[in-house]
Structure 1
């Protein structure tokens, strides 16, 4: 089996969905099906049981996944180490941030530019209702995201900063005149929902239940930050946001209310594990406050930090 076919097989073994696997690897579903048929011919048996409702691994597929996973990691880690040994950090790095959030890590960007002046740093806007989409599509190399991020194909790198959580409401909202609210108050609100955001990520800014267990409504949904702001300003719903939103978006018709008992929002650099490069590791080292020293592939940690 070729390396790409192994990657497709292992991705489908995780996703158990041809469409999601295709999106994750930026290929067509037909390419995924072709690769799996090729693998099944190669091993001489069926690797997946599939029907109109579900896809699941056969016993043979489970065995092959176990046998291939470790070897695949060794190969990709070996390639990463060879790239690092070459010592060349050049090219273009595309950073995904939410609106002007790049300003919050300006010291990191300045230090990175100073240490690697030959690297071109490009910026793309990540949409809060779908924070992982640009990473998965390969349109960004690294994204600045709030935690937690618990995706098997993504590496969570250095933490950059921590923010308070606020409630964004229209100036006509009953909470607009308050100095602060508590999480229990959210049961009396409608919160804007996301589109492709994992539920556990959305819960950081928009919980599904209050501390006492009361349900919190998530409706309507927005696909972009601008849509979310429009929904809030029109009074249809409120939105949980990080404190930076109050600094960057002091728009008429919008108010920001601290949620005094909400856990803080932690931000970190995140990238696709399989797409990790010396350039990404150099950027992560900069965020760690280092300008030298190896980064352990796929972990987001330097050897110095892992030993501490």
Structure 2
């Protein structure tokens, strides 16, 4: 079966209408009908039930649709990848990052731009209290986020780097004079709350209970990272952050305290599976080629880079 005939079958199986299939493929309805009859003769059984009012897949047609669909997509992706290798990838890729996270992947972005000088990389700021919103709305193509991200419609790429985690507190907070704290100390704190963050992501660094089961209080809900900084510096709450944040937000009203028993924080590129493009694959490949900062660990273990 030729590739064009496979395409005709799959589009007709989706449209269930000869006219719309012909219009979509820019051919005549007669060409569609001829291709389907040819396939049915080769197979030896009908693939579609045709009536004056409707076109339906037979059980054999449904089986063929399942078997051919994945293979056809793989073939087309391979062709697109080969074309990109020859002609170079171009277009605009919008990347969303949180605070200093963009600097943590500069080496990845540099490799991507070197390989694909025709690609334009745009940046958007992601707010930690709502880490998935710009992905969901389509305002960014790829987001650089802390793990885990366990959403059925999102793909998680290679780990880009690993950070230590610290607790951000007001300079007047009792913990500000300590050399370090432990997770059990969260029981005496109130942590900032996000607006639209999956509970499992919030739980990673801002737990609802300490290791011994004590409840962890909740402070004000924040919408932006600036609001989180303000809530913490004013003493209303505390927040877990990656250690790099201490270098980029050296406010005299803030202190950053190491958490002795907090696991390292991993970060990765994340994108909408259904909207994957050659540009996204190229960026993910650059990240993969640079190499993960640490061996993979289960996605339910790493802490979050930001507590909001």
Q: TM-score, normalised to structure 2's length?
A: 0.69
Matched, 1:126 2:123: no
Q: Does 2:287 match 1:287?
A: yes
The residue that corresponds to 1:245 in the other structure is 245
Residue 63 of structure 1 corresponds to which residue in structure 2?
A: none
Partner deviation per Cα, 1:257-291 (whole Å, 9 max, x = no partner): 01110111100111110111111111111111179
Q: Cα 1:71–1:193, aligned 2, differ >3 Å: closer, same or farther?
A: farther
Query: Which residue in the other structure is 2:32 paired with?
Result: none
1:143-189 per-residue CA deviation (whole Å, 9 max, x = no partner) reads: 11000000000000010111111110001111011000000000000
SS in 1 for 2:274: helix
In structure 2, what is the equivalent of residue 172 of structure 1?
Answer: 172
What is the correspondence of 1:185-200 to structure 2 with a 5 Å cutoff? 185-200=185-200
User: Deviation at 1:85?
Assistant: 3.3
The 3 A distance-change label for structure 1 pair 113 and 136 is: same
Structure 2: stretches of 5+ with no match in the other structure: 1-9, 15-53, 57-63, 292-308
Give the Å deviation of 1:252: 1.9
- Which runs of structure 2 are paired with 1:85-234 in the superposition (5 Å)? 85-87=82-84, 88-234=88-234
Q: 1:74 to 1:194 in 2, by over 3 A?
A: farther
Runs of 4+ displaced beyond 4 Å: 67-79
- Partner residue in 2 for 1:83: 80
Further displaced range: 267-276 or 108-117: 108-117
Looking at structure 1, the residues matched to 74 and 273 of structure 2 have their Cα atoms a distance apart, in angstroms, of 10
Residue of structure 2 equivalent to 1:299: none
CA 1:278–1:174 in structure 2 vs 1: closer, same or farther (change >3 Å)? same
Count of residues in correspondence between the two structures: 232
Residue by residue over 1:189-212, the C-alpha shift from the partner in whole angstroms, topping out at 9 and shown as x without a partner, is: 000011111011112221111111
Q: Residues 80 and 277 of structure 1 are in contact (CA less than 8 Å); yes or no, is this contact kept in structure 2?
A: no
Structure 1 equivalent of residue 295 of structure 2: none
Structure 1 residue 75: deviation in Å? 6.5
Q: Distance between the aligned counterparts of 1:239 and 1:215, measured in 2?
A: 16
Q: Would the aligned equivalents of 2:176 and 2:256 in 1 still touch at CA under 8 Å?
A: yes
Contact 2:209–2:215, Cα closer than 8 Å, also in 1: yes
The TM-score, its normalising length taken from structure 1, stands at: 0.69
Q: Is the partner of 1:237 in helix, strand or coil?
A: coil
CA separation of 1:170 and 1:245: change in aligned 2, threshold 3 A: same
Give the conservation status (yes or no) of the 8 Å contact 2:98–2:127. Answer: yes
Shift of 1:82: 3.9
The answer to whether structure 1 residue 270 and structure 2 residue 282 are counterparts is no
Q: Counterparts of 1:96 and 1:232 in 2: how far apart (Å)?
A: 24
Contact 1:83 1:277 in 2 (8 A): no
Residue 213 to residue 110, structure 1, CA distance change in 2 (3 Å): same
Bigger shift: residues 276-285 or 71-80:
71-80
CA distance in 2, matches of 1:112, 1:269: 13
Decide whether the 8 Å contact of 2:100 with 2:245 is kept in 1: no
CA distance in 2, matches of 1:131, 1:75: 34
